[in-house]
Amino acid sequence: MKISGKIKASWILFEFLITVTVVIILMRLFNSKQWLIRKSWAKMQAYLTGYDLEVIGSADEHTQLLLLNHQSLLDIIILDASYPKDLCWVAKKEIADMPFFGQILTLPKMVIIDRENKKSLVKLVSDAKERLQEGRVIAMFPEGTRGDGKKLLPFKMGAKLLASKLNLKVQPAVIINTRTILDSLNFTAKSGKVKIIYLDPIDPKEDKEWFTKLHKKMQEIIDRETKSS
């Protein structure tokens, strides 16, 4: 019997509530193992949510700032499961402020930004510099919020500022089809294939227009993948 998209989404929500609670407790108990705990949980989601992953290209070992399109909560989970280094996500303060569950961001010291605070970009640069010194890779969604998976939203300037201020090596990646697998806005879910397409690394010092060109390049890849699916 085929399970409806909303029933599956309800199952995933229930599963998240239970397993994220366990992850938070384990991170509090085993502080030095936080990355391993998060990565193990993220890998487990491939079985519990029912997605298959195809990776095209590879993560550059010298990358300091990873830039991605954003369409689903699953984006973060898939990257945490597959990326070879400890990612430090740039996340909204509203999520970190959630009672108890906000600890999924605060315990592993993700970079938290407050869009209502004019000094948030200063804190972004300061916190990111600290995490980089710990050997982590900063991961950002330059759109700032989730799109529909087909058309990129305009890029916010935070990622460009961060790359410039800290002189970071940037690698973009395009995620395909996560919204189809888990659409948290319409509350539907189904099984299927997800792609991560790694692009060539970028040195922002070599091209002042890199940020604008990147938006165009990522949109071209999304258009191509959407037409071929």
Full residue range of the structural domain in which residue 63 is found = 5-228
Q: State the pLDDT confidence band at 3, using cuts at 50, 70 and 90.
A: low
Residue 165 is part of a domain; what is its CATH number?
Answer: 3.40.1130
Q: To which H or E segment does residue 65 belong?
A: strand 65-68
Mean pLDDT of the chain: 95
- Dump pLDDT digits (tens) for 128-165: 999 999 999 999 999 999 999 999 999 999 999 999 99
Separation CA 160–CA 215 (nearest Å): 12
> Is 30 a residue whose pLDDT tops 90?
yes
User: How many structural domains is the chain composed of?
Assistant: 1
Provide the CA 56 distance to its chain's centre, in angstroms.
17
Please spell the DSSP secondary structure of 181-205, one letter per residue: HEETTTTEE--EEEEEEEPPPB-GG
Q: What is residue 69's predicted lDDT score, i.e. its pLDDT?
A: 98
Percent of the chain with pLDDT over 70: 98
pTM of the model: 0.95
Q: What is residue 120's predicted lDDT score, i.e. its pLDDT?
A: 86
Q: What is residue 1's predicted lDDT score, i.e. its pLDDT?
A: 41
Q: What is residue 143's predicted lDDT score, i.e. its pLDDT?
A: 96
Q: State the pLDDT confidence band at 170, using cuts at 50, 70 and 90.
A: very high
Over residues 7-29, mean pLDDT: 96
Over residues 44-58, mean pLDDT: 95
Q: To which H or E segment does residue 80 belong?
A: helix 74-82
Q: State the pLDDT confidence band at 201, using cuts at 50, 70 and 90.
A: very high
Q: What is residue 185's predicted lDDT score, i.e. its pLDDT?
A: 84
